[in-house]
A and B are shown apart, each in its own frame.
Chain A
Amino acid sequence: MMNLEDLEKQVIRMEDIQEIENLQRRYGYYFDTRNFQAIVDMFSDSADSADLESFGLFRGKEGIRRLYLDDIGRGGRPRYPSESWISTVIFQIGGVVNLDPSGVAARGRWQTWLAETFLYGGVPRQYWVHGYYENEYVKERGKWFFKKLFWNVTFFTMFETGWLTQPLVGLLPMANPDGPPTAFYPYPSGYQFPYHYNHPITGE
């Protein structure tokens, strides 16, 4: 039988996973509601980077502020006279979260399904987007934060055409990245986005 100390460790581990799952899902809800300051506050002050879609690589907490507040959030300035029709709906699906033995670091793989609406090439359009995350989390002062967020897009297609006909509507470069995207190889490249875990049975 386990002693109290072992049990406590296991319970803390499960609570950690639960908290990380909530962090990831809340990120999705904050994105949907365009609350970019809330997103920035979910990153550790010593965060590594954020690398999304074809936006480019943004380093450190300073880069993360630039990405979400200045570039995606446009410094709070509206993009168009009326913004209510612009929508982002991000599903956070299939989280596989693994804790480092230290208990203060973790990694998670997720996938996303998106239904979006925004202006592209001067025309309002509706899109289907799919991608996978491989993210890193860190526990500081008893709370979990993003340390690294990496969202690898599989396709970004129009509602009407689909991924086979039009895997990529176009690139979405941001104004001020620190570098190019590290692995933007959309469908049909056959790119195999690496996963952080070993096989649960064979351990390989």
Chain B
Amino acid sequence: MNLEELEKSVNLMEDIQEIENLQRIYAYYFDLQMWEDIIDLFSDDAESVEIVDHGLFLGKEGVKKMYWGWIGKGIRSANQPWIQFIITQIGGVVDISPDGKTAWGRWQTWLCEAKPFGAFPKQEWLHGYYENKYVKENGKWLFSKLHWNNTFCSPFEDGWLKTPLMGLMNYHPTVKPDAPPTAFYPYPSGYHLPYHYNHPITEK
């Protein structure tokens, strides 16, 4: 390799490293319910965010509506300490575009949560896959699109076979999505969230 090629390779590895950190730090902010810090991880030109069956939210405005308005309930920090999010970020496959300005990542998550459902406090197992898009602006990587596709949301006591979905979570009295969810097909639908990459060997 000449120096220029070497620099490209090094930059590519650093980019992947930075995106992995971005994704993991996102989860730590989520666990700590730091919604404003999450919003700041998104580009001002963000495309969209979509989580479980909340619907599709467009643009940075949509990002704010989702995290601050819906999930964060417009509250800076948790006023009910028993409400718990634990989001593990597992198995990242990150691919950078040839121009080095955009990237895609697939991840999976295992969650153990506690939150009110209806009138009752519930503890839940959740699983899901991400297919996210990232963009590099001013030398830093940001989320440009976040899609978390939920496989199941099951009560701790039941499990996914017995109760794959505790119930729908697609209603909010004031916060409305720009469009319905694009792909909410929980277990046991057999749905597979498409992946962004080609086969590493056959390239199909």
Chain A residues engaging chain B, CB cutoff 8 angstroms: 1-4, 7, 10-11, 14, 17, 91, 93-96, 109, 111, 113, 128, 130, 154, 162-165, 187-192, 195, 197, 199-202
Could you list 14 examples of A-B contacts with CB < 8 Å?
A: A1-B7, A2-B7, A14-B13, A14-B14, A14-B17, A109-B28, A111-B28, A128-B112, A164-B114, A200-B21, A200-B25, A200-B41, A201-B140, A202-B37
Q: How far is the CB of B31 from chain A (nearest CB, A)?
A: 8
Question: Is A163 a contact partner of B112 (Cβ separation < 8 A)?
Answer: yes
Answer whether residue B123 sits at the interface, using C-beta atoms and an 8 A cutoff.
yes
Q: How distant is the Cα of A132 from the Cα of B40 in the complex, in angstroms?
A: 23
Q: How distant is the Cα of A3 from the Cα of B17 in the complex, in angstroms?
A: 21
Number of B interface residues, CB 8 Å? 38
Interface residues of B in 15-32 (CB under 8 A from A): 17-18, 21-22, 24-25, 27-28, 32
Question: Is B40 a contact partner of A188 (Cβ separation < 8 A)?
Answer: no
Q: How far is the CB of B1 from chain A (nearest CB, A)?
A: 10
Chain B residues with Cβ below 8 Å from A163 are: 84, 112, 114, 123
Which of chain A's residues has its CB closest to B33's CB?
Answer: A192
Chain A residues with Cβ below 8 Å from B32 are: 192
Interface residues of B in 130-154 (CB under 8 A from A): 140-142
Q: How far is the CB of B127 from chain A (nearest CB, A)?
A: 13
Question: Is A154 a contact partner of B86 (Cβ separation < 8 A)?
Answer: yes
A93-B90, A96-B21, A164-B123 known; A195-B84 Cβ under 8 A? no
Question: Is A96 a contact partner of B24 (Cβ separation < 8 A)?
Answer: yes
Answer whether residue B10 sits at the interface, using C-beta atoms and an 8 A cutoff.
yes
Chain A residues with Cβ below 8 Å from B4 are: 1
Q: How distant is the Cα of A191 from the Cα of B141 in the complex, in angstroms?
A: 29
Chain A residues with Cβ below 8 Å from B179 are: none
Partner of B24, one of A11, A95, A201: A95
Answer whether residue B3 sits at the interface, using C-beta atoms and an 8 A cutoff.
yes
Partner of B88, one of A14, A94, A164, A192: A94
Interface residues of B in 62-107 (CB under 8 A from A): 78, 81-82, 84, 86, 88-90
Partner of B10, one of A10, A94, A162, A199: A10
Q: How distant is the Cα of A162 from the Cα of B156 in the complex, in angstroms?
A: 7
Q: How distant is the Cα of A198 from the Cα of B123 in the complex, in angstroms?
A: 31
Interface residues of B in 146-195 (CB under 8 A from A): 156-157
Question: Is B123 a contact partner of A165 (Cβ separation < 8 A)?
Answer: yes
Partner of A188, one of B13, B82, B90, B156: B82
Answer whether residue B110 sits at the interface, using C-beta atoms and an 8 A cutoff.
yes
Partner of B81, one of A4, A10, A91, A189: A189
Q: How distant is the Cα of A113 from the Cα of B110 in the complex, in angstroms?
A: 10
Q: How far is the CB of A198 from chain B (nearest CB, A)?
A: 10
Question: Is A17 a contact partner of B89 (Cβ separation < 8 A)?
Answer: no
